[in-house]
């Protein structure tokens, strides 16, 4: 049984607001691919838009520009090794989904590959062409057109990191395969009491 539930688009920014390492997916012309990306962020609430750095050397970039769309999946801690693996080899000559036994479905709006098993959330994005930022900074923009999250960790527009959902806690790359796992959720008090 899937624990995924739709996320209202005005809450989509929250899925990557805290800077998790994500999996970027794309499918085009009978090929599909997946890579890791540590550099992504929301840039607009409404309409919901995000930015992600996609290097010119990647095969994913070819598929995104071909499809005009991409998927963003937010892997949980249990997918750390897979995340590092798909970020360490190119799918140009291999199908990483088949090689690693990744179970992907087609996103409901754009048909981009989306992962639920082991992931905390996913977003489907329509590519917003920005020739200058793509060429100068490898930065791609996308408009989020559908999103969903595992209700055990993101519900009613809010993350909830607890000891009961550790496998879904997000990954944050420190470099060279070392990650920290998000946790220790705390709540700020405002106004500050004096």
Ligand X SMILES: Cc1cc2nc3c(=O)[nH]c(=O)nc-3n(C[C@H](O)[C@H](O)[C@H](O)COP(=O)(O)O)c2cc1C
Q: Which is nearer to ligand X, 4 or 123 (CB)?
A: 123
87 lies in the binding site for ligand X (CB under 6 A):
yes
89 lies in the binding site for ligand X (CB under 6 A):
yes
Which residues are within 8 A (CB) of 39 and not within 5 positions of it... i.e. 6 or more apart? 52, 53
Residue nearest to ligand X (CB): 87
81 lies in the binding site for ligand X (CB under 6 A):
no
Q: Which is nearer to ligand X, 122 or 179 (CB)?
A: 179
Query: For residues 55 and 109, what is the distance between their CA atoms, to the nearest angstrom?
Result: 25
Q: Which is nearer to ligand X, 39 or 100 (CB)?
A: 39
102 lies in the binding site for ligand X (CB under 6 A):
no
Burial 131-158 (b: 16+ CB within 10 A, else e): eeebeeebbbbbbbbbbbbbebbbeeee
- Please report, as residue ranges, which positions from 51 to 70 form the binding site for ligand X (by CB under 6 A): 53-55, 58-60
Tell the smallest beta-carbon distance from residue 19 to ligand X (Å).
11
Which residues are within 8 A (CB) of 20 and not within 5 positions of it... i.e. 6 or more apart? 74, 75, 120, 170, 171, 172, 182
**One residue of 6, 18, 81, 88 binding ligand X per CB under 6 A:** 88
38 lies in the binding site for ligand X (CB under 6 A):
yes
Residues that bind ligand X (CB under 6 A): 21, 33, 35-39, 53-55, 58-60, 84, 87-92, 173
């Amino acid at each position: 049984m899937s624990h995924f539930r739709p996320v209202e688009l005005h809450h989509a920014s929250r899925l990557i607001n805290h800077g998790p390492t994500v999996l970027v997916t794309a499918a085009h012309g009978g090929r599909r691919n997946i890579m890791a990306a540590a550099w992504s962020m929301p840039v607009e609430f409404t309409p919901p838009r995000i930015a992600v750095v996609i290097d010119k050397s990647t095969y994913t970039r070819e598929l995104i520009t071909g499809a005009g769309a991409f998927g963003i999946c937010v892997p949980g801690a249990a997918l750390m090794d897979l995340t590092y693996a798909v970020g360490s080899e190119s799918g140009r000559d291999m199908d990483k989904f088949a090689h690693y036994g990744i179970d992907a479905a087609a996103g409901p709006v754009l048909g981009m590959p989306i992962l639920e098993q082991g992931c905390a959330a996913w977003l489907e994005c329509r590519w917003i062409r920005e020739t200058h930022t793509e060429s100068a900074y490898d930065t791609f923009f996308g408009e989020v057109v559908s999103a969903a999250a595992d209700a055990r960790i993101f519900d009613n527009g809010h993350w909830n990191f607890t000891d009961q959902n550790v496998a879904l806690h997000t990954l944050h790359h420190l470099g060279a395969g070392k990650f920290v796992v998000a946790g220790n959720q705390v709540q700020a008090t405002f106004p500050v009491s004096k």
